[in-house]
Amino acid sequence: MSSSSMRSFEYLESLPGTVFNRLYKQPSTALAIFRRMLPQLAKSFIMAMLYMPRPLPVADLDTWVRPGSRREQDTAIDLLERLQILKRTAEPNKPRSYVLTNPFAASLRQALTGGGNHRSFGVPSRTHAEGQVTKAQLDDFARRQWEGVLGYMVGSTGVGLNDEGAKLSLAVKHLLKYGRLVEVRGRSVDITQDGFAFVLQEVNAQVWTILILYLENAEELGMDRVDVLSFLFMLGSLELGQGYSKANLTETQLQMLLDLGDFGIIYQNTPDSDSYYPTRLATTLTSDAGALRSATAGFDTALRPSNNDDKGFVVVETNYRIYAYTSSPLQIAILSLFTRLSTRYPNMVSGKMTRESVRRAINMGITGDQIIDFLYTHAHPQMRKNANFLPPTVVDQIRLWQIEGERMKSTVGFLFKDFLSAAEYEGPCQYAGDIGVLKWKNDAKRMFFVTRHEHVASYLKSQKEKRREGG
């Protein structure tokens, strides 16, 4: 599951059952969740059960999966149950079975076969004139607005990023502050550790991060979160360059058009026009197209997918000097967060990482590993010809500069202990490692520490039920 899918999944998982029931009544929502948020094995289970007239016995489902893939099966079943797509049934004198929930199953069937008057996939505007708004215009608008957001976060207005006219509303700035992506001190705006991690994400993950923040803030604005979620999932099914009518939108969704326009996700000729246009940022919301790296390089991929010339641009020398072959104000501003820039040419900037420049970034909350990740991701092709293309001396020194000011690192999580046997301990511990939530373990004391407990708790519950059935 991609990082953006995980972010949206974690939000959906926190919703009550009544919200899921309303949400799944929209075929576009059922299709979007099926396409984007589920692993292949979970999709296979759904498609096999979608037209079954009766529940599927658990024993029959087990025969579909090879014995060596039981862990993947448990993960897929757990995911479907937490999204309330699949449920277990236990009727007298009948084996335990699985069944797809309604209205999810009915909506997915309708989305796949068509028909109905639900209009959950948008209503094309009849007043849309061919060529009125081109795809290139939509791409330019999305790039200008989104890079304006990133530029505000890294404080790059001083290098001319916003000269193209991207204007950020107070609502956008409030949302970035609410999400702790930036800290505002008087007139100064500083990026946080979470903000720098956000900048390093793929573009699609960045968009979903902003949308989840928007969802969390929606109720404070008196907006119906089911309407908000339904509209976001619908956007992923719309066609780039096509205008869509506002006639069937709710009051909440009409307000969303204005808010999403600030981020470059939706374009309107005027706020009072009868139609709106989704940009590429919207139409790829439920797409699993390849990772779109952030900043300008990512936008060239996101907004011009036919461009195959996207390359790294940073050269790092063993003496800590950096040469960046870019003219992007956004990229230059990101580099300036941890580099002392000294020279700028039309297509290149140069500078040097110093203890002071790196420590300044660390004091803002940016970690040494995030700086290394940025240099690794954007390394120039000439550097990539070597096996270890980032100089080890530079990597080690960045980490040393960071640990100068810290002696302990805290991690919020959950401790599992008091296992009765080694076999009882090893299964969930290995499962936690496989899904990426394990942070620490002690095999001798049969203890392990995880960042999220829901997955492990579900695994322990399923194992307990299997032992009960076997016994």
pLDDT tens for each residue of 364-399: 778 899 899 999 989 999 998 888 889 999 999 999
The amino acid at 463:
Q
The encoded tokens of residue 433 equal 């490692």
Q: What is the pLDDT of residue 126?
A: 75
The encoded tokens of residue 333 equal 């501003």
Q: What is the pLDDT of residue 166?
A: 63
Strands (E) located in 327-466: 340-345, 348-352, 414-416, 438-442, 447-450
Q: What letters, b where the CB count within 10 A reaches 16 and e where it falls short, cover 253-272?
A: bebbbebbbbbbbbbbeeee
Q: What is the pLDDT of residue 304?
A: 39
Under-50 pLDDT residues of the chain:
130-131, 157-163, 290-310
Q: What is the pLDDT of residue 225?
A: 87
The encoded tokens of residue 273 equal 């026009």
Q: What angle do CA 125, 127, 133 make, to 5 degrees?
A: 80
Neighbours of 470 (CB within 10 A): 6
Q: What is the pLDDT of residue 128?
A: 53
Q: pTM for this structure? A: 0.73
Q: What is the pLDDT of residue 288?
A: 56
Q: What is the pLDDT of residue 162?
A: 45
Q: What is the pLDDT of residue 309?
A: 38
The encoded tokens of residue 286 equal 């439920």
Q: Is the CB of residue 230 less than 8 Å from the CB of residue 26?
A: yes
Q: What is the pLDDT of residue 303?
A: 40
C-alpha 85 chain-centroid distance: 21
What is d(CA 82, CA 239) in angstroms, rounded to the nearest whole number?
A: 31
Rounded to the nearest 10 degrees, what angle do helices 203-218 and 295-303 cross at? 90
- Nearest CA to 411 out of 448, 455, 444 is that of 448
Strand order across the beta sheet in which 348-352 lies: 314-316, 321-324, 348-352, 340-345
